[in-house]
Chain A
Amino acid sequence: MRHIISILMENEAGALSRVAGLFSARAYNIESLTVAPTEDPSLSRMTIVTTGTEEIIEQITKQLNKLVDVVRLMDMTDGPHIEREMMMVKVRAEAGQREEFKRLADIFRGRIIDVTESTYVIELTGDSAKLDAFLQAVDTGKIIEVVRSGVSGIARGEKALNI
């Protein structure tokens, strides 16, 4: 199953490599990994999307928790949560297709954020499935470049990952 695991870590040099090293050393899957500082400059927040059996996910969370730099961890998938990923897609948009791209972007609540005579850059936010769906809807021949931020997640309601 797919899990979204968020961790708060000491914002120290090498923290990212400890997590990345753990996943490669133990041969765990990693779909995406994002990391950025939080409102507290001493902490950074990492979101990892991974897949595995329940046993493997249990080991992943235990091994992550065991890292001395990890302050707190939450498996978003355990409860109601919001998942978001941002994507920018550069497409070849020439005369006849410009309207169609505009319509498609609207349907997915995307925005066109860069325009040239022959290209558009479309920005899209949503869960990963929605971004996948958008890409499926676009004629692959027209895609010049895709960049995705990787997933970040937050729990709904009172539950929070903080210290």
Chain B
Amino acid sequence: MELTGAEIFVRCLQDEGVELLFGYPGGAVLHIYDALYQQDKVQHILVRHEQAATHAADGYARATGKPGCVLVTSGPGATNAVTGIATAYMDSIPMVVFTGQVPTSLIGNDAFQEVDNIGITRPCVKHNFLVKDVRDLAVTIKKAFYVATTGRPGPVVVDIPKDVTAARCEYSYPKKVRMRSYNPTVKGHAGQIKRAVELLLQARRPMLYTGGGVILDNASEQLIELTRLLNFPITNTLMGLGAYPATDRQFVGMLGMHGTYEANMAMHNCDVLVAVGARFDDRVTGNIEKFCPSAKIIHIDVDPASISKNVKVDVPIVGSVGNVLEQLLKLIKAGKARPDPEALAAWWEQIEEWRGLDCLKYDRGSELVKPQYVLETLYKVTNGDAFVTSDVGQHQMWAAQFYKFDKPRRWINSGGLGTMGFGFPAAMGVQLAYPDETVCCITGEGSIQMCIQELSTCLQYGLPVKIINLNNRYLGMVRQWQEFFYQKRYAMSYMESLPDFVKLAESYGHVGMQIDKPQDVEGALKEAMQLKDRLVFLDFITDQSENVYPMIPAGAGQNEMILI
């Protein structure tokens, strides 16, 4: 039987097993919305701004490992989605975004709500497709999911002109697609594996530096096994938190600009560095010239272009984290050789000395609500078992430092693009994926206002997200840089004319609370967590002058941290 393009679209999503589609309607996608209306397998979530649709789908993808799906209309619908697409791209998140387009006969005519979606999104997608013929629709959608979820994941845009959704053809959804131009390497090269194992076994001051790739590849188990087998210290990037249990002794905390002293010092002084699914971002390396001066570097990454991009490595291994770690484990376990235990003991002694500095200490006697205290308490109250999303700023760094993630996919934040406005819609996506879990969004009064309209979406779908607003009345991260590097000239970093967040939450039918005394923090958090089916907006009036420590200032090496 022949179906319309719109019906084919819906059938494809059903056959792909898509549960949730985040979107917003408009002229170019009306046929599709009509087809969606007549089925109930794919649930459509109506957001209040297309940016939120992309972040929600992204949050869903990060929490579940399944691709997030978005549908927006042509023109402004598509341009509003771009920030979210770029956010997912920078963090390698699998996502398929369907954008409506004007009818093929009008493309290029400056038609109503026409914009070159393919051109606009090209630099921030893994790939994009324009479907010009309804007969290509199903196979293109299959390819989009395939490309988005394999190799180094990433967002894929499928641009669908309106006439294609009205045209008819026979439907069949391909079980598999093959693309001769796209074949990611997933198994590590045996010769490189051997060289890597030799280096690992000779290491006297080893260091494991692992990132988002471990989480994307669901390879925590293999990582834990290798780390324990070798008794190596391990650090995670901001994107990698949770891949290795943060409460384990071998974990030395996050590394990088706001990482721990022990992690950065261990990096700087190590003799063998193993980078696993991490991309040597400048927030991690600090000054490249001063990076890991005495280390031989092994780098495992599925994307050859990540390897030797910023830092030249000695043993490149292209492949997926899980496979390569298994290959390494197999070879190590096949032999008797192990790294010199005495050298390791001395190395651990050194690391414990650095750890003893307690670089994350803060004033616990303060009369003011310290943001760090709120996060420590949140960790306690949620038994360290919540899904935590974050916006961007100081609050993000404190969340990364003070909430100890023992499991992957629990910490959800925008690292690569650093998109303010990400946290709240992402939390909606997570909550929809896991209706019975506790989902907290750590945010600041600046960030939350970038997607605050989603309070309405949460009401519509009954999403009991807990918003932890660390309200310092400043664009705190900006203020911190101005304090340190611009002689305290606080240009445009003071947030004036803030709304009454409690009333705002209430006006959307939610619960609001304001907390301005340290002694009320724990009680408020407990009360909020007990309101299982309500969204609670917790507005914490925090110490305005608090800064994120430690810090590697711009241009400095990892061994040159500013400590409190």
Contacts and interface: CB of A to CB of B under 8 A. Distances in A.
Given A14-B118, A17-B122, A68-B127, A59 B181 contact: no
A8 to B, nearest CB: 9
A21 B122 CA distance: 8
A13 B130 CA distance: 9
Interface string A83-106: 000000000000000000000000
Nearest to B184: A66
A63 B179 CA distance: 18
Interface string A1-45: 000000001100110011001000100000000000000000000
Contacts of A18: 122
B102 to A, nearest CB: 16
A37 to B, nearest CB: 16
Contacts, number: 37
Contacts of B118: 14
A65 interface: yes
Contacts of B181: 9-10, 68-71
A63 B123 contact: no
Interface in B77-105: none
A62 interface: yes
A71 B181 CA distance: 4
Interface string B95-136: 000000000000000000000001100110011001000000
Interface residues of B, number: 18
A59 B126 contact: no
B177 to A, nearest CB: 12
Contacts of B308: 55, 58
Contact of B123 (A14, A21, A70): A21
A62 B180 CA distance: 17
Interface string B309-336: 1001000000000000000000000000
B516 interface: no
Interface residues of A, number: 20
Contact of A17 (B119, B127, B303, B304): B119
A70 B119 CA distance: 18
Contacts of A58: 308
Contacts of A25: 123
A3 to B, nearest CB: 17
Nearest to B128: A14
Contacts of B305: 59, 62-63, 65-66
B179 A68 contact: yes
A62 to B, nearest CB: 4
A130 B305 CA distance: 35
- The prevalent SS among residues of A at the interface is helix
Interface in B149-187: 179-182
A13 B116 CA distance: 13
B147 interface: yes
A9 B305 CA distance: 19
A163 interface: yes
B130 A14 contact: yes
A163 B122 contact: no
Contacts of A21: 122-123
Contacts of B126: 68
B89 to A, nearest CB: 12
Contact of B180 (A55, A65, A163): A163
B156 to A, nearest CB: 9
B303 A66 contact: yes
A121 B64 CA distance: 66
Contacts of A66: 303-305
Interface string A52-74: 00010011001101101111000
Contacts of A65: 304-305
Q: Which of A25, A65, A68, A70 has the most CB of B within 10 A?
A: A68
Contacts of B119: 17
Nearest to B151: A66
Contacts of B122: 14, 17-18, 21
A28 to B, nearest CB: 13
Given A14-B118, A71-B181, A62 B130 contact: no
Contacts of A17: 119, 122
Contact of A68 (B130, B147, B309): B147
Interface string A137-163: 000000000000000000000000001
Contacts of B147: 68
Nearest to A9: B181
A62 B307 CA distance: 9
Contacts of B182: 68
A56 to B, nearest CB: 10
23 contacts: A9-B181, A10-B181, A13-B130, A14-B122, A17-B122, A18-B122, A21-B122, A21-B123, A25-B123, A55-B308, A55-B312, A59-B309, A62-B305, A65-B304, A65-B305, A66-B303, A66-B305, A68-B147, A68-B179, A68-B181, A68-B182, A69-B127, A71-B180
Interface of B: 118-119, 122-123, 126-127, 130, 147, 179-182, 303-305, 308-309, 312
Interface of A: 9-10, 13-14, 17-18, 21, 25, 55, 58-59, 62-63, 65-66, 68-71, 163
